[in-house]
Structure 1
Amino acid sequence: MKQFITFFTILLFFNLISAQTLSDTNRDSLDFFFKTLEENQKFMGQVELSRKNRTLYFYVSGFSNTEAGLKSGKETTYRIGSISKTITATLILKATEEGKISLDQTIETFFPTIKNAEKITITHLLTHHSGIHNFTSEKDFMQWNTSPKTEVEMISIISGGGSDFEPGSKAAYSNSNFVLLSYILEKIYNEEYADILQKKIISPLHLKQTQFGDKSLPESKKTHSYTYEVKWNKVIATHESIPMGAGGIIMSAHDLSLFLNGLFDGKIILKETLKKMLEQKDGYGMGIFKTTIAGHEAYTHEGRIDGFNSVYYYFPEQQLTYVLLSNGENYHLANINELALKAVFNQPFNLPKINPFKVTFQELAPYTGVYTSLESPLIITISRNGNKLLAQPEGQKIFKMDAMEKNIFNHNKSGVSLEFDPSLNLMMMTQGEKTLHFSKQ
Structure 2
Amino acid sequence: MQYQNQPVPETGSIISDLAKEALATFFNTLYDNNMGMGSICIAVKDTVVYQHSVGYKFTTPTGKIPAHQYTRYRVGSISKSFTAVLIFQLYEEGLLDLNAVLSKYIPGVPNGDRIRISDLLHHRSGLHDISDTPNFRAWSIVPKTQQQVIDRIIQCTPDFEPDQMAVYSNSNYIFLGFIAERVTGLSLKQLIKERICNRGQLNSTYYGGKIAVQHNECYSYTFQEDWVVEDSTCMDIAHGAGAVVASPYDLTLFIRAVFTGKFFSQETLEYLLTEKDTFGMGIHPIGFCGKPGHGHHGALDGFASQVWYYPEEELSIAYCANGLVYPINRIMIRVLQIIFK
Match of 2:21 in 1: 28
| 1:365-380 correspondence runs (5 A) | none
Correspondence for 1:179? 174
| Structure 1, 159-168 or 301-310: larger mean CA deviation | 159-168
Find runs of 4+ consecutive structure 1 residues off by over 6 angstroms. none
More contact order relative to length (CA 8 Å, sep ≥ 6):
2
Q: What residue in structure 2 maps to residue 422 of structure 1? A: none
Amino acid in the other structure paired with 2:31:
E
Q: In the TM superposition, what are the counterparts of 1:76-91 in structure 2 within 5 Å?
A: 76-91=71-86
Give the 3-state SS of the residue equivalent to 1:323 in structure 2.
Answer: strand
Picking from 136, 139, 163, the partner of 2:134 is 139
Unaligned runs of 5+ residues in structure 2 are: 1-12
Task: Provide the residue aligned with 1:201 in structure 2.
Answer: 196
- Deviation digits for residues 300-339 of structure 1, max 9, x if unmatched? 2111100000012211221111111000112232222122
Structure possessing the higher radius of gyration over alpha carbons = 1
Name the counterpart of 2:57.
64
What is aligned with 2:36?
Answer: 43
Q: CA deviation at 1:220?
A: 6.1
**Whole-angstrom CA distance in 2 between matches of 1:335 and 1:97:** 37
Report the counterpart of residue 104 of structure 1 in structure 2. 99
Q: Deviations over 1:196-255 (max 9, x none)?
A: 100000111111110111327355633100011111000001110111010110100000
Write the mapping of 1:10-25 to structure 2, written as runs, cut at 5 A.
21-25=14-18
Q: In the alignment, which residue of structure 2 is the partner of 1:427? A: none
**1:228 equivalent in alignment to 2:223:** yes
Deviation by residue 1:33-85 (Cα, 9 ceiling, x = unmatched): 22222223222111111111211111111111034522111111001100110
Say whether residues 1:156 and 2:148 are aligned partners: no
Alpha-carbon distance in structure 1 between the residues aligned to 2:188 and 2:46: 26
Distance 1:59 1:154 in 2: 37
The number of equivalent residue pairs is: 327
Instruction: Name the structure 2 match of 1:265.
Output: 260
Does structure 1 residue 52 correspond to structure 2 residue 45? yes
Select the residue among 326, 331, 334 that pairs with 1:331: 326
Report the Cα offset of residue 265 of structure 1.
0.5
Indicate the residue corresponding to 1:256 in structure 2: 251
Q: Identity over the aligned pairs, expressed in percent? A: 33
TM-score of the superposition, structure 1-length normalised? 0.72
Quick one: distance in 2 between partners of 1:226 and 1:107? 37
Aligned mates of 2:49, 2:289 — CA distance in 1: 18
1:312 maps to amino acid: V
Contact 1:114 1:162 in 2 (8 A): no
Q: CA deviation at 1:93?
A: 0.2
Shift in CA distance, 105/311, structure 1 to aligned 2, threshold 3 Å: same
Q: Does 2:267 correspond to 1:276?
A: no
**CA distance in structure 2 between the aligned counterparts of 1:330 and 1:130, rounded to whole angstroms:** 32
- TM-score, scaled relative to structure 2: 0.92
- Structure holding more strand per residue: 1
User: Counterparts of 2:45 and 2:251 in 1: how far apart (Å)?
Assistant: 12
RMSD: 1.5
Query: Could you tell me how far apart the structure 1 residues matched to 2:111 and 2:209 are?
Result: 34
Letter in 2 for 1:32: T
- Contact in 1 for aligned 2:52/2:68 (Cα 8 Å): no
What is the deviation of 1:154? 0.7
CA distance in 2, matches of 1:156, 1:252: 33
